Amino acid sequence: MAPTDRFVSENTFYVRYAETDAMGIVHHSVYVVYFEEARSHYSRVQGASYADFERSGYWLTVAEVYARFGVPTRYGQRITARCWLGEFKSRGLTFMYEIVDAETGQVCVTGYSRHVCINHEGRVCKIPESWAQIMRKGIPGAQDDT
Amino acid sequence: MAPTDRFVSENTFYVRYAETDAMGIVHHSVYVVYFEEARSHYSRVQGASYADFERSGYWLTVAEVYARFGVPTRYGQRITARCWLGEFKSRGLTFMYEIVDAETGQVCVTGYSRHVCINHEGRVCKIPESWAQIMRKGIPGAQDDT
Amino acid sequence: MAPTDRFVSENTFYVRYAETDAMGIVHHSVYVVYFEEARSHYSRVQGASYADFERSGYWLTVAEVYARFGVPTRYGQRITARCWLGEFKSRGLTFMYEIVDAETGQVCVTGYSRHVCINHEGRVCKIPESWAQIMRKGIPGAQDDT
Amino acid sequence: MAPTDRFVSENTFYVRYAETDAMGIVHHSVYVVYFEEARSHYSRVQGASYADFERSGYWLTVAEVYARFGVPTRYGQRITARCWLGEFKSRGLTFMYEIVDAETGQVCVTGYSRHVCINHEGRVCKIPESWAQIMRKGIPGAQDDT
């Protein structure tokens, strides 16, 4: 369940036909894309743009992703992607996700992704302070492990 | 350019990271998915649901698709997908598309798709009247060629 | 590392351009698709066809998927997807994966997926014996927990 | 039908599950990806690598794509993607495609894509001679319109 002690972003959209598979449901790989768009949205509503972050010379690479599939979703269904910060460290962070039916609130899929900050030379580095500040807003009491 | 003598639907959304390719722009195959979501949206705002149409025993199969790529779009960009009916016949129809930058209105990609109505046995058939009525609303003066 | 006490399937293919993203590397969600194709290949070389399995009234739904991203892969690279059985139970199984560079053998991505057998009514059920026999071949000493 | 007066490349592969949609068939947008992989293969078997072409400072951008869908294809089916040069000009070229069932040879989908050569500054330019020579091999009698 989405936590109550930190910021949880929500974006709601329709399942696209191309996202379904021959089982008549959303293909499981698509939720990894929903997760990604959920964290794009998270940054956006926190006042940061991941596109700007990239342009400033950094990437948050994906180190791990996990998804647990409970209830299938289908074409035309309105779903809400919830996203919040799990862990925030100086060189990386974890995003948590919940994909829920937008009408009923039923939780369909959950998951997380772990990210590491690298620069465009591919070296692991500290998340730049301007971006770290914005991320820390979402997880009150978060301290850097610097 | 989108026509002025008929209904043009518009839905606006953000480009997802997964939709980009190594050129740093939206992969050309993705616009075919945007077109599809544009026509889903078209039906939705006209008061019809393509999901219901399918459940009632029919499909609008895609017979042809064409896209012309003018200006690239990028991750995080807000784009508007415009959709309108080109041609409406008793057994098929054509949708037209324009993908534009949501801020500037610049037209980036245009295209069309031609569809044929089939039933779940795979036979070409007339578009059911309830659905045809809704579609005809979008193209005043449209006459069936029945 | 791929185990030596059981069957490990390998299929080798080229990274497609559409699978890359704006970082210039294969998008992380694509490995979930590579995993899936790896287990399709696993069944195929063991003499079973997942398509036939489906047609016989069953599905192996995906309950969980996990991926760990070590080394990026790029357009045009030849990669080998390795797949083996982790766990085999009467109603479900786990597949393990390794995506390696086909030339150097360097391990790039690893992961697993857990599956549950359901029938087309959506009920959890035992994996049909004909299919279970084929799967058990790949994991010597495997015993059903029936 | 594939022509007999020029080189036609063929690559054969299995339809992936993720490529299907809720109609139980390969989603129409996926053929645009098959086309792309077919032209990657075309270059490869002609002794050129599109990845090298990119690294040398150029791109063959996609200006237009068209597909005509005749017969659906399904998960697990082996299909062959045929590709040949339609037109070859100093600054662009056209690839033609046929997607056929690998067992029966039945033509399922046909299409073409038009490409323009640009450099990494985004300017339209002549296709570099080393690459043009390789492409011209595939279309005997081709003359540059220089």
- Measured CA to CA, the distance from residue B33 to residue A10 in angstroms comes to 23
The answer to whether residues B6 and B96 touch, using CB atoms and an 8 Å cutoff, is no
Please name the fold of domain B9-135: Thiol Ester Dehydrase; Chain A (3.10.129)
Between C35 and C146, the higher pLDDT residue: C35
Residue B142 has pLDDT above 90, yes or no: no
- Inter-chain CB proximity C62 and A33 less than 8 Å: no
- Inter-chain CB proximity B67 and D64 less than 8 Å: yes
Residue D144 has pLDDT above 60, yes or no: no
The backbone torsions φ and ψ at residue A89, rounded to the nearest 5 degrees and listed phi first, read -125, 170
Neighbouring chains of C at 3+ CB pairs under 8 Å are A, B, D
Neighbouring chains of D at 3+ CB pairs under 8 Å are A, B, C
C1 at B interface, C-beta within 8 A: no
Helix (H, G, I), strand (E, B) or coil at D76: coil
Distance of CA D116 to the CA centre of its chain: 14
Residue type, D93: L
- Inter-chain CB proximity C69 and A66 less than 8 Å: no
CATH architecture of the domain formed by A9-136:
Roll (3.10)
Residues from chain B contacting residue C18 (CB–CB below 8 Å): 21, 27, 29
Q: Average pLDDT, whole number, for chain D?
A: 94
Distance of CA B45 to the CA centre of its chain: 12
Q: What is the pLDDT of residue B145?
A: 52
Instruction: Identify the helix (H) or strand (E) that includes residue A110.
Output: strand A107-119
Nearest C-alpha neighbor of C40 from the set D39, D29, A21: A21
- Inter-chain CB proximity A20 and D21 less than 8 Å: yes
Residue D145 — very low, low, confident or very high, per pLDDT cuts 50/70/90?
low
Q: What CA dihedral angle connects C65, C68, C71 and C77, to 10 degrees?
A: -10
The answer to whether residues C26 and C19 touch, using CB atoms and an 8 Å cutoff, is yes
Residue B140 — very low, low, confident or very high, per pLDDT cuts 50/70/90?
confident
- Measured CA to CA, the distance from residue D43 to residue D11 in angstroms comes to 12
Q: What is the pLDDT of residue D16?
A: 98
Residue B146 has pLDDT above 50, yes or no: no
The answer to whether residues D22 and A75 touch, using CB atoms and an 8 Å cutoff, is yes
Specify the range with the lowest mean pLDDT, choosing from B70-74, B134-138, D109-113.
B134-138
Nearest C-alpha neighbor of C90 from the set C128, C130, C42, C64: C128
C74 at B interface, C-beta within 8 A: yes
Specify the range with the lowest mean pLDDT, choosing from B50-59, C6-15, C135-144.
C135-144
What percentage of chain D has pLDDT greater than the value 90?
A: 89
- Measured CA to CA, the distance from residue D5 to residue D2 in angstroms comes to 9
Residue D22 has pLDDT above 70, yes or no: yes
Residues from chain D contacting residue C54 (CB–CB below 8 Å): 75
Residue D83: strand pairing partners: D9, D97
- Inter-chain CB proximity A40 and B13 less than 8 Å: no
Report the alpha-carbon angle B7-B12-B18, nearest 5.
135
Please state, in angstroms and as integers, the Cα–Cα distance from residue A67 to each residue in A55, A98, C39, following that order.
Answer: 29, 10, 18
- Measured CA to CA, the distance from residue B83 to residue D14 in angstroms comes to 34
Cα distance between the two ends of chain B: 30
Please state, in angstroms and as integers, the Cα–Cα distance from residue C101 to each residue in C15, C80, C106, following that order.
Answer: 11, 6, 5
CA Rg value for chain D: 16
Nearest CB to A28: which of C28, C32, C68? C32
- How is residue B120 annotated by DSSP? T
Nearest chain A Cα to D75, which residue?
A22
Helix (H, G, I), strand (E, B) or coil at D49: coil
C7-31 pLDDT, tens digit per residue, is: 999 999 999 999 999 999 999 999 9
Nearest CB to A28: which of C22, C65, C68? C65
A66 at C interface, C-beta within 8 A: yes
Question: Sheet of A107-119: strands edge to edge?
Answer: A9-14, A78-88, A92-101, A107-119, A58-69, C58-69, C107-119, C92-101, C78-88, C9-14
Nearest C-alpha neighbor of D54 from the set B49, B93, B21: B21
- How is residue D25 annotated by DSSP? S
Chunked into runs of 10 residues, chain A (146 residues) has average pLDDT values of 94 98 98 98 94 93 98 97 96 97 98 97 94 90 58
Q: What is the pLDDT of residue A142?
A: 67
A140 at D interface, C-beta within 8 A: no
Residue D140 has pLDDT above 90, yes or no: no
Residue D97 has pLDDT above 70, yes or no: yes
Residue C52 has pLDDT above 70, yes or no: yes
Residue B144 has pLDDT above 80, yes or no: no
- Inter-chain CB proximity B22 and C17 less than 8 Å: yes
- Read off the pLDDT of each residue in C33-51 and give the average, rounded to a whole number: 95
DSSP chain C: ---SSS--EEEEEEPPGGGB-TTSSB-HHHHHHHHHHHHHHHHHHTT--HHHHHHTTEEEEEEEEEEEE-S---TT-EEEEEEEEEEE-SSEEEEEEEEEETTT--EEEEEEEEEEEEETTS-B-PPPHHHHHHHHTTSTT-----
Question: Which pair of structure tokens corresponds to residue B64?
Answer: 């042809």
Rounded to two decimals, the pTM is: 0.96
Q: What is the pLDDT of residue D106?
A: 98
The answer to whether residues A63 and A115 touch, using CB atoms and an 8 Å cutoff, is yes
Residues from chain D contacting residue B67 (CB–CB below 8 Å): 64-66
B36 at D interface, C-beta within 8 A: yes
Residue D143 has pLDDT above 80, yes or no: no
Nearest CB to A18: which of D17, D29, D74? D29
Instruction: Identify the helix (H) or strand (E) that includes residue D94.
Output: strand D92-101
A15 at D interface, C-beta within 8 A: no
The answer to whether residues D42 and D95 touch, using CB atoms and an 8 Å cutoff, is yes
Report the gap between the CA of A61 and the closest CA in chain D (Å): 23
